[in-house]
Amino acid sequence: MTNHPKTTTTRNRVLLVEDHVLVRQGIAELLNQEPDFLVCGEAEDASTALDAVGELKPDVVLVDISLKESNGLELIKVLKSRYPKLPVLVVTMHDEALYAELALRAGALGYIMKEEGIDKVLTGLRRVLSGAFYLSESVASRLLQQQIRGKYEPSTSPIDRLSERELEVFQLIGQWQGTSQIANQFHLSVKTVEYYREQIKEKLNLKNASELVRYASQWVQRDKHF
Judge whether 104 and 128 are in contact, CB under 8 Å. Answer: no
Domain ranges of the chain: 2-147, 158-224
Q: Which of 56, 59, 57 is nearest to 14 (CA)?
A: 59
Q: pTM, whole model, 2 decimals? A: 0.69
Same fold, 2-147 and 158-224: no
Whole-angstrom CA distances from 74 to 48, 103, 141, 176, 223 are: 13, 9, 25, 18, 19
Q: What is the pLDDT along the chain (226 residues), one digit of tens a residue?
A: 676 655 545 899 999 999 889 989 999 999 999 999 999 999 999 899 999 999 999 999 999 988 877 778 889 999 999 999 999 999 988 766 667 878 888 899 999 888 888 899 999 999 999 999 998 776 777 667 666 665 545 455 677 788 878 888 998 898 888 999 888 888 888 999 999 999 999 988 898 999 999 888 888 776 554 3
pLDDT digits (tens, 9 = 90+) for 69-115: 777 888 999 999 999 999 999 998 876 666 787 888 889 999 988 88
2-147: CATH class: alpha beta
Question: How many whole angstroms separate alpha carbon 14 and alpha carbon 6?
Answer: 11
The dihedrals phi and psi of 91, each to the nearest 5 degrees, come to -125, 115
User: How deeply is 140 buried, as exposed, middle or buried, from its count of CB atoms within 10 A (0-12, 13-18, 19+)?
Assistant: middle
CB neighbour list of residue 22: distance below 8 Å, 6 or more residues apart: none
Question: How many whole angstroms separate alpha carbon 38 and alpha carbon 174?
Answer: 35
> Is the torsion defined by CA of 99, 105, 107, 108 positive or negative?
positive
What architecture (CATH level 2) is domain 158-224?
Answer: Orthogonal Bundle (1.10)
